[in-house]
């Protein structure tokens, strides 16, 4: 379905009991709301109602041109506005990768809108920023961001030879069909630039502005994540003042919703308490 929010039109996948407790699912780069398709059946069976939007830049009718339009405060405001448009006062919140950053921001700034938080792969922005400043391994893991922030160059590199580099980046999601499911939409005019603008608009000031999170929180990390190291992951809990759980999935890649949908659904349900 299409949802109007902040003058933009978002594509949103919904499912589960119409009267179920709502869950907002936020995807990461370079994916879309389809990354939750193997997670949501277990949530629906538990009585939860899910809403998974294609976020700013990923929904074709929510694709502003200016880099500044993709700053973290704008992305967080989108999530809050989507809840308003859906008639949801407060929801369980789940975010993966960049979606986790948005989720951390929403939970910190608007705890009244968030029943619980399950952040996947990416820890609290302050933990990430500290690791980037102090941990040599994390700096190496995050070196790719330098390329992503280069307008034009990143697009050429990632889309060359029928998106060969982009497909390699997505290799951990599964077979060739699953890779294509995410890579092909990025070949549409303007789509990859909009997705990369999330990186180009990112600033230390906006990361630092995300405060402590007081809602009940679970952070799900996988020990084969090439992007996020253990230093950042273990520091995450320092920025949560509410009840906190750190779940590690052994032998799983960064692409947790695709690679381990069952264990992730279990972690989400353990946090949300099902339909309560």
Distance CA 66, CA 132 (A): 27
Is 254 annotated as catalytic?
A: yes
Main-chain dihedrals φ then ψ at residue 155, nearest 5 degrees: -60, -45
Percent of the residues in the chain that have a pLDDT greater than 70, as a whole number? 99
How much is the mean pLDDT over the chain?
Answer: 96
CATH architecture of the domain 2-272 equals 3-Layer(aba) Sandwich (3.40)
Q: For residue 93, give the nearest of 138, 161, 36, 45 by alpha carbon.
A: 36
Distances (CA, A) of 259 to 3, 37, 103, 206, 249: 29, 12, 21, 30, 10
pLDDT tens for 180-195 read 999 999 999 999 999 9
pTM for the full predicted model: 0.97
pLDDT band at 29 (very low <50, low <70, confident <90, very high): very high
The total of other beta-carbon atoms located within 10 Å of residue 101's CB is: 26
Active-site annotation holder among 32, 51, 96, 97: 97
Main-chain dihedrals φ then ψ at residue 54, nearest 5 degrees: -80, 115
Active-site annotation holder among 199, 206, 239, 258: 199
Active-site annotation holder among 32, 92, 254, 258: 254
On the question of a cis peptide bond just before residue 54, with omega within 30 degrees of 0, the verdict is no
Q: Give the model's pLDDT for residue 12.
A: 98
């Amino acid at each position: 379905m299409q949802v109007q929010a902040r003058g933009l039109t978002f594509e949103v996948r919904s499912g589960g009991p119409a009267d179920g407790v709502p869950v907002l699912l936020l995807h990461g780069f370079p994916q879309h709301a389809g990354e939750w398709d193997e997670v949501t059946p277990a949530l629906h069976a538990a009585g939860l109602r899910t809403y998974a939007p294609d976020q700013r830049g990923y929904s074709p009718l929510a694709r502003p041109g200016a880099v500044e339009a993709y700053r973290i405060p704008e992305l967080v405001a989108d999530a809050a506005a989507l809840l308003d448009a859906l008639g949801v006062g407060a929801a369980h919140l789940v975010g993966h990768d960049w979606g986790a950053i948005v989720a951390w921001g929403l939970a910190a700034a608007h705890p009244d809108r968030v029943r619980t938080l399950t952040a996947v792969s990416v820890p609290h922005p302050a933990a990430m920023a500290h690791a980037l400043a102090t941990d040599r391994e994390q700096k190496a893991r995050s070196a790719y961001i330098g390329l992503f922030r280069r307008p034009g160059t990143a697009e050429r590199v990632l889309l060359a030879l029928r998106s060969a580099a982009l497909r390699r980046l997505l290799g951990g999601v599964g077979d060739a069909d699953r890779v294509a499911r995410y890579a092909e939409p990025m070949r549409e005019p303007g789509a990859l630039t909009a997705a990369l603008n999330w990186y180009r608009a990112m600033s230390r000031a906006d990361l630092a502005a995300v405060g402590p999170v007081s809602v009940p929180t679970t952070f799900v990390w996988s020990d084969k994540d090439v992007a996020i190291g253990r230093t950042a992951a273990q520091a995450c809990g320092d920025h949560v003042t509410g009840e906190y759980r750190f779940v590690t999935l052994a032998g799983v890649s960064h692409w947790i919703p695709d690679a381990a949908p069952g264990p992730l659904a279990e972690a989400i349900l353990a946090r949300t308490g099902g339909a309560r």
